[in-house]
């Protein structure tokens, strides 16, 4: 018998770090219906300083490494997106529902010409707020290079500015341009489209 099992007396295995990360993702999905409509958070003016903008870095949104900087090596080809928030120069994480980002790596050869300059090493960032009902986008379909919403199955092409490849969503997922500075992923501008579900 494993020594750890003998010591604990319960026959339990230590928790797998991957299981903990999955639990964090499940929590986001479970809480999604409780979040108010996204359009209220889009606003302008007073919350401008809390939005993703050029010069900010990325912080892991949940799990064991929550609050730590997302590095290029963290974003693995074919795996589910790294969920992240913008982080300012002082290390403050700009954590809000509207700021949740899905960071995914895709084959550079598959990137559309207009996306390639904003996807260092094939790493692209999109709003993780689904444009159908506002649920979090937490999965990938590696065979189609797409980001997938767990709630209703909408899929968005990560290589082509988040265009819809499967409904019920009808509006593409907005992309956030990235650049690489001193081996760090840095936001290089604002979202290239409206966030969340259409308002009408």
Q: Using one digit for the tens of pLDDT, what is the confidence trace for 50-90?
A: 788 999 999 999 888 989 999 999 999 999 999 999 999 89
User: What is the phi-psi region of residue 61: left when phi exceeds 0, alpha when psi lies from -120 to 50, beta otherwise?
Assistant: alpha
| Residue 34 C-alpha from the chain's centroid | 19
pTM: 0.77
In the block, tokens 């909408």 appear at 154
Dist CA 11 CA 8 (whole Å): 7
- Amino acid 51: pLDDT: 81
In a domain, 65, yes or no: yes
Full residue range of the structural domain in which residue 184 is found: 56-191
Write down the residue that tokens 């081996």 correspond to. 183
Contact 69, 86 (CB under 8 A): no
Note whether residue 7 is domain-resident: no
- 42 has pLDDT over 80: no
pLDDT surpassing 90 at residue 181: yes
Q: Is residue 199 part of a domain?
A: no
What CATH number is associated with residue 187?
2.102.10.10
In a domain, 44, yes or no: no
Considering only CA atoms, give the Rg of the chain: 18
Provide the pLDDT for residue 94.
92
Question: From the DSSP assignment, how many helices (H) and strands (E) are in the chain?
Answer: 3, 11
What is the number of structural domains in the chain? 1
In this structure, is residue 10 part of a structural domain?
Answer: no
């Amino acid at each position: 018998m494993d020594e750890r099992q003998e010591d604990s007396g319960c026959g339990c295995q230590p928790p797998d770090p991957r299981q903990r990360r999955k639990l964090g993702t499940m929590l986001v999905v479970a809480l999604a219906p409780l979040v108010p409509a996204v359009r209220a958070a889009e606003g302008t003016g007073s919350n401008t300083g809390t939005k993703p903008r050029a010069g900010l870095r990325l912080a892991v949104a949940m799990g064991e490494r929550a609050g730590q900087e997302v590095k290029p090596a963290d974003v693995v080809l074919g795996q589910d997106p790294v969920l992240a928030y913008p982080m300012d120069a002082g290390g403050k994480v700009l954590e809000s529902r509207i700021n949740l980002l899905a960071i995914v790596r895709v084959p550079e050869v598959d990137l559309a010409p207009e996306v390639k300059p904003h996807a260092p090493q094939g790493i692209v960032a999109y709003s993780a707020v689904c444009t159908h009902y506002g649920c979090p986008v937490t999965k990938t379909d590696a065979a189609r290079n797409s980001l997938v919403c767990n709630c209703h199955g909408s899929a968005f092409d990560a290589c082509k500015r988040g265009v819809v490849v499967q409904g019920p969503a009808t509006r593409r997922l907005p992309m956030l341009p990235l650049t690489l500075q001193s081996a760090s992923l840095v936001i290089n501008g604002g979202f290239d489209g409206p966030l969340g579900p259409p308002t009408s």
